[in-house]
């Protein structure tokens, strides 16, 4: 499986934008980039996913580098409820499985 | 949005007993479900892929006789931890993909089951 690299933890102030980076230099042409987050004592929840183009939804934006070797999850205005572990995952279109890495623990400061 | 219900949310059992965890897709059919376990402060580890009407596919190092998976219908998969021991204490999480979507689409996760074996 192609792997991703994320910072172990990040901090951000409430009501400010947050940029969560992810490196995936060995990404293949059939890999989709998925982001999930896990709040304390809960199962993960889907945030966003994309293939080549930047994506926006009500939760976040996903900026994908032109060479696809990195991506950035953007939370436009962080709230305390966004404190969670964020996982950047590569998912092959031919494979159902999602393999989680260590993720980034995001702390939001009031 | 689609909902995956997992039950129970928390269970405490004695060593040597078996515990069954249920995972239901409430408003969609799921031919494939996944089971994960998670230790404190660690990431999720995929245990097995559960396929409706067939045997589960276990990841390397996961004992199939220890963790019995049954996926008898398109909306229900169960994980039974047999002869549980304290080292089996963990957070167990299931997930499912809606049948009608492509394999690159998102998964929906249950809220998890915290198993504590005394």
Determine the Cα–Cα distance for residues B28 and A82; give it in Å rounded to an integer: 27
pLDDT tens readout for residues A12-57: 999 999 999 999 999 998 889 999 999 999 999 999 999 999 999 9
- Split at pLDDT 50, 70, 90, the class of B97 is confident
Mean pLDDT on B17-23? 97
Task: Compare CB distances from B93 to A43, A91, A103 and report the shortest one's residue.
Answer: A43
Which residues of chain A make contact with B94, given a CB cutoff of 8 A? Answer: 43
Task: Compare CB distances from B112 to A34, A43, A91 and report the shortest one's residue.
Answer: A43
Question: Which A residues in the span 71-110 are in contact with B, Cβ-Cβ below 8 Å?
Answer: 87, 91, 93-103
Determine the Cα–Cα distance for residues A58 and A10; give it in Å rounded to an integer: 22
State which residue of chain A sits closest to B31, comparing Cα positions: A96
pLDDT tens readout for residues B43-90: 999 999 988 888 899 999 999 999 999 988 889 999 999 999 999 999
Question: A57-81 burial, b for 16+ CB within 10 Å, e for fewer?
Answer: eeebbbbbeeebebbbbebeebeee
Q: CB B6 to CB A34 under 8 A? A: no
pLDDT surpasses 60 at A81: yes
pLDDT surpasses 90 at B12: yes
pLDDT at A95: 75
State which residue of chain A sits closest to B98, comparing Cα positions: A96
**High-pLDDT (> 90) share of chain B, %:** 73
pLDDT surpasses 70 at A2: no
- Split at pLDDT 50, 70, 90, the class of B98 is confident
pLDDT surpasses 90 at A1: no
> Which of B5, B47, B42, B52 has its CA nearest to residue B26?
B5
In Å, what is the CA distance from B83 to each residue of A37, B9, B13, B14, B66?
32, 20, 10, 9, 7
């Amino acid at each position: 499986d192609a792997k991703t690299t994320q910072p172990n933890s990040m901090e951000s102030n409430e009501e400010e934008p947050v940029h969560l980076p992810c490196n995936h230099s060995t990404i293949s042409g059939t890999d989709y980039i998925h982001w999930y987050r896990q709040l304390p004592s809960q199962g993960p929840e889907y945030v966003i996913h994309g293939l080549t183009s930047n994506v926006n939804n009500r939760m976040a934006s996903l900026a994908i580098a032109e060479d696809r070797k990195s991506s950035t999850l953007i939370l436009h205005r962080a709230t305390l409820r966004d404190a969670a572990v964020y996982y950047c995952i590569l998912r092959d279109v031919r494979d159902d499985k999602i393999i989680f890495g260590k993720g980034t623990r995001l702390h939001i400061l009031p | 949005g689609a909902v995956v219900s997992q039950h129970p949310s928390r269970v405490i059992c004695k060593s040597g007993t078996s515990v069954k965890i249920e995972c239901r897709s409430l408003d969609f059919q799921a031919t494939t479900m996944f089971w994960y376990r998670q230790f404190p402060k660690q990431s999720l580890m995929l245990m097995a892929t559960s396929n409706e009407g067939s045997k589960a596919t276990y990841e390397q190092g996961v004992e199939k006789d220890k963790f019995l998976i049954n996926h008898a219908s398109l909306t229900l998969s169960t994980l039974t931890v047999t002869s549980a021991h304290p080292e089996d204490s963990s957070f167990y999480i299931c997930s499912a993909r809606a049948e009608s979507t492509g394999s690159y689409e998102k998964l929906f996760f249950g809220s998890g089951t915290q198993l504590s074996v005394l």
